Structure 1
């Protein structure tokens, strides 16, 4: 019998067939919308396939966070807001099913309609949709929210707003957006925009950080907020949307409480001591060796591994190409050769973790081994002169024999540094033609113990090349401020990537991020090839073309040598109190957004 967590695969054969249908577009108002093909769930669906529709309500779950916050507005660049606030307290026109690559079903909106080429989208609001204060959600709230977020909100909202030619009410509860740019994903992107109350901000600055939260519509309201200490979200018994099929079996806890601690090690000790209820373990070796304390042995704590079907994403040390020292790809290539992954993985993980091979590895979207072929090669060919070595002919990350010496790769690293104009002087220091030593800073967040261990080993290996490294650890607020301003040489970087990448790729890798603060383009890449591949992804009429464009983008990103990748986990490791439960059927995205605590429940009370 097939385990429950592989049940989504049985439906994916049907889903993939639908994905192959080119040019699908809704001909009339629909209950949902998919990036390709039709939504998997019918209009009369009862609940999402991965929830327990009869999950009991009540109880409390306490989650631990390292760091703190100084703002309750999660939609602007200024300040640092609790990430859980955006997830649990605010809603969009449509909600996502995490068992499909990218499909939305009606939430604040009861229906969605698109043009034949998806050059416009129209949403019709539910008559019963309400804000926390009981006032109805109106078309004016939607129009204002989309504009204010697109002009004064976080940079992640601006790209979509720039593609809207007109935004207007078409009825008392309907609103239409017409686009000025071909982009098949835009209707879904707008469906996920949060809707806020316009009247709250009349005559006031929306983009100023502060401890007043925007008024939302979601199932949880703020019960208590103490910066640096806690955030308590209370389940709203008067929430307008409890009757929706999309919400059945979700939002089961009476309270979601976030406790804040100085660093990750303290969070773990708080979990051991019973102060928090769930702990995500990122270290495979610790998962096997450190969970032998009494609460685990006597069954009060359960160790769970949650599988997933999503891409590996990218995690590792990112090099800021805005800094002259990392502007030359040969220097970045030298860093990749000097980083002894096999030795570090063995030291910290017992060699148990697979390495990230590319940004979309571990999925159908990842680049294939060897030379680029077929449609992928056709997409990349116009940029052949600007692509870095490996993009067309094939590329694989450097690997070592696992010994600390790493001699072969260090020789290759030194050769690349010499080619870039660096030589070792008589004093053993690597210098350029002007005699300037090769030194740089690695910026870390305080309390990131495992990252600190990785960096310490890497820095020791760089000394053999005559390179000096300064390791600087700062608190969460400083770290956010510096990374938003790209004020670093190298730092730890992690980007989760979905089964349906789209417009967010511009925020991650687009040229606007070279100079615009607050984007995810921490490496500062400016690649016409990457821009073109993203365009091809957004305008693809078939799943085959979409996959080819994504694989081509993966080649550009990986061979750009911007990030020194570490490992990924094919499954999440969650240790939790035994009275916490989650459904037997795991969504395709696994332990991602929409999983914990959304579909969990308590059997304690």
Structure 2
């Protein structure tokens, strides 16, 4: 893969504060729902056009569009980009098959997120949501006009079907996502109620329900949800399938009859007639295809290409624009992740020793042209990463877990990887320290130069890799590991093999990147929670099982204020870093992009904090496109 691998965040299948009702309205609501919803007299019912985790919603009930869009953006044209590897399915919610990029585009959810708020959602399929202050249940009121692409109406029964299908037949990780749901029920055709366990993650369960992709129950009466297919499911979203060539290309076309195109959450969005993704098996061919105009937008993740290769004729002629834009998200958790299910990685001293053998400073200077900064935190480039010694608030959170977490968490600053000299790949000081750790862990060097434990087993490590471009990074790392007496190898596989082996946890060390949120919550159960460690296909690639980590995750989920959340996330960050479950890699807090000059966007230098929004809020300039076509710039 590239230097910055595509995100595999745990919360990718699910994409916020409220307006208080007047007392009279509350009485009216209670009267209307007296039969369906027996309530305690003291409960206050909130009814709102949106919801957030903390604080107030930015946009009022009568907002016309989000601030970051151009409400007058024209519709038309094609946006094309690329993806790595291959695909054989348009079913993104099941374990079987490898789904095409963008295959969730067919489906609307009950509510839609905002790009300029970290944890807010506003009405899409549902025009309002009502819930008690304790958030133990929520009723979503569906828009009567909401419809699937075949014209049939979206009903509460479809929502219930979608929830139950994902829970029972979707990827195993959905069982973790829906762990705190009691269930869903259709009160009538336009009202669906979700009930949550009182001891559950009540702060954000409504948002989880609001982000549920909604399927057609009638459609699946004659189809098996668990089977992968290249037939797109019937959806209510803004796009439908245009063309598909398995493993090569997939394109989606905008629906002129999209029922929600004029809703405030969609004004100025979904502007391209076609969104097309071209697949490539390696970065070199993908880059060469872009230079030749085979696709029109590229975010560059390979530092060598960015530093040395963006000087081709199309740039000189002004056909292609090259820009670096700020990335307001946490930088992402990217690294070499250990498979803790393997006994050889059970001792943290072994893992720390392996980490010491990775010379980031040499890699950055020799391979990355000095473009990157070393990652040390799971929430790098954010205000919620742990720094220095723990604060009194963090210590109070961590104190109950003495003996369950490394002692260094209490006595040392938050762990930061050792700095290596950049003049040579092998830093003698760090390698000596690594060797001492391996000796202490019982892995002694034998007469043949290999390290063995008391049972005579050789310490071997295989890196699972599906990218030619990553070999230049792995091989020097392997050389250092061999100097330590570790039998280290790199196993090159194709993208499909890599995905299957990752699903089944068939690896020693794997390269991965998680996109982390400013408002972490239930997705942490999938990434770091014990319940997901042995679920095939889960995001917990490491197989991490730790009761203290589980408890900290639950404290994050249950946090009542953002201040409490931030302190608890920092405490968890300290613990995870001290456990040495990964070899942290690098980050760059910016987007390196190149695109043919036929697009416009509603911002100049400062995109919305969470995303560039290129497929959502950019638009096609037909006049520019005509000039490029006339010049022969595009294929």
- Given the two structures, how large is their TM-score scaled by the length of structure 2? 0.88
CA distance in 2, matches of 1:346, 1:173: 59
2:428 paired with 1:407: yes
1:541–1:155 CA distance, 2 compared to 1 (3 A):
same
Q: After superposition, where does 1:80-99 map in structure 2 within 5 Å?
A: 80-86=98-104, 88-99=105-116
Q: Report deviation, 1:213.
A: 2.1
Q: Report deviation, 1:138.
A: 0.3
The DSSP-based 3-state class of the residue aligned with 1:205 is coil
The DSSP-based 3-state class of the residue aligned with 2:102 is helix
CA distance in 2, matches of 1:312, 1:200: 40
Question: Are 2:157 and 2:189, in contact at CA under 8 Å, matched by a contact in 1?
Answer: no
CA displacement, residues 569-592 of structure 1 (integer Å, 9 cap, x when unaligned): 111111011111222164443436
* Aligned residue number for residue 258 of structure 1: 277
Aligned match for 1:68, one of 58, 61, 86: 86
Q: After superposition, where does 1:371-450 map in structure 2 within 5 Å?
A: 372-393=390-411, 394=413, 395-404=415-424, 405-445=426-466, 448-450=467-469
2:213 paired with 1:212: no
* Aligned residue number for residue 56 of structure 2: 38
The DSSP-based 3-state class of the residue aligned with 1:493 is strand
1:522–1:310 CA distance, 2 compared to 1 (3 A):
same
1:170–1:520 CA distance, 2 compared to 1 (3 A):
same
CA distance in 1, matches of 2:144, 2:48: 16
* Aligned residue number for residue 291 of structure 1: 310
Aligned match for 1:522, one of 541, 551, 554: 541
CA displacement, residues 303-345 of structure 1 (integer Å, 9 cap, x when unaligned): 1222122212211111101011212111100011111111111
Question: Are 1:306 and 1:591, in contact at CA under 8 Å, matched by a contact in 2?
Answer: no
CA distance in 2, matches of 1:191, 1:590: 19
CA distance in 1, matches of 2:533, 2:49: 39
Q: After superposition, where does 1:150-549 map in structure 2 within 5 Å?
A: 150-180=167-197, 181-183=199-201, 184-202=203-221, 204-370=223-389, 372-393=390-411, 394=413, 395-404=415-424, 405-445=426-466, 448-549=467-568
The DSSP-based 3-state class of the residue aligned with 1:245 is coil
CA distance in 2, matches of 1:399, 1:389: 22
Q: Report deviation, 1:434.
A: 2.4
The DSSP-based 3-state class of the residue aligned with 2:377 is coil
CA displacement, residues 205-252 of structure 1 (integer Å, 9 cap, x when unaligned): 211222222211111100111111110101110111111011111111
1:166–1:439 CA distance, 2 compared to 1 (3 A):
closer
The DSSP-based 3-state class of the residue aligned with 1:246 is coil
Q: Report deviation, 1:203.
A: 5.2
Q: Report deviation, 1:182.
A: 2.9
CA distance in 2, matches of 1:424, 1:115: 63
- Given the two structures, how large is their TM-score scaled by the length of structure 1? 0.93
CA distance in 1, matches of 2:230, 2:183: 33
CA distance in 1, matches of 2:405, 2:232: 46
CA distance in 2, matches of 1:245, 1:290: 42
Task: Give the count of matched residue pairs.
Answer: 578
* Aligned residue number for residue 13 of structure 1: none
CA distance in 2, matches of 1:386, 1:282: 38
The DSSP-based 3-state class of the residue aligned with 2:47 is coil
The DSSP-based 3-state class of the residue aligned with 1:69 is coil
Question: Are 1:265 and 1:449, in contact at CA under 8 Å, matched by a contact in 2?
Answer: no
Aligned match for 2:150, one of 133, 146, 151: 133
CA displacement, residues 515-571 of structure 1 (integer Å, 9 cap, x when unaligned): 111111011110111111111111111111111111111112211211111111111
CA distance in 2, matches of 1:602, 1:531: 47
* Aligned residue number for residue 633 of structure 2: none
CA distance in 2, matches of 1:584, 1:434: 62
Question: Are 1:89 and 1:220, in contact at CA under 8 Å, matched by a contact in 2?
Answer: yes
Q: Report deviation, 1:171.
A: 3.4
The DSSP-based 3-state class of the residue aligned with 1:492 is strand
Q: CA RMSD in A?
A: 1.8
1:45–1:432 CA distance, 2 compared to 1 (3 A):
same
Unaligned stretches of 5+ in structure 2? 1-15, 19-42, 624-635
Question: Are 1:99 and 1:587, in contact at CA under 8 Å, matched by a contact in 2?
Answer: no
The DSSP-based 3-state class of the residue aligned with 1:302 is strand
Unaligned stretches of 5+ in structure 1? 1-15, 20-24
The DSSP-based 3-state class of the residue aligned with 1:458 is helix
CA distance in 1, matches of 2:611, 2:590: 8
Q: Report deviation, 1:288.
A: 3.0
Question: Are 2:176 and 2:531, in contact at CA under 8 Å, matched by a contact in 1?
Answer: no
Question: Are 2:464 and 2:511, in contact at CA under 8 Å, matched by a contact in 1?
Answer: yes
The DSSP-based 3-state class of the residue aligned with 1:242 is coil
Question: Are 1:307 and 1:590, in contact at CA under 8 Å, matched by a contact in 2?
Answer: no
CA distance in 2, matches of 1:97, 1:285: 34
Question: Are 1:580 and 1:600, in contact at CA under 8 Å, matched by a contact in 2?
Answer: yes
CA distance in 2, matches of 1:327, 1:204: 44
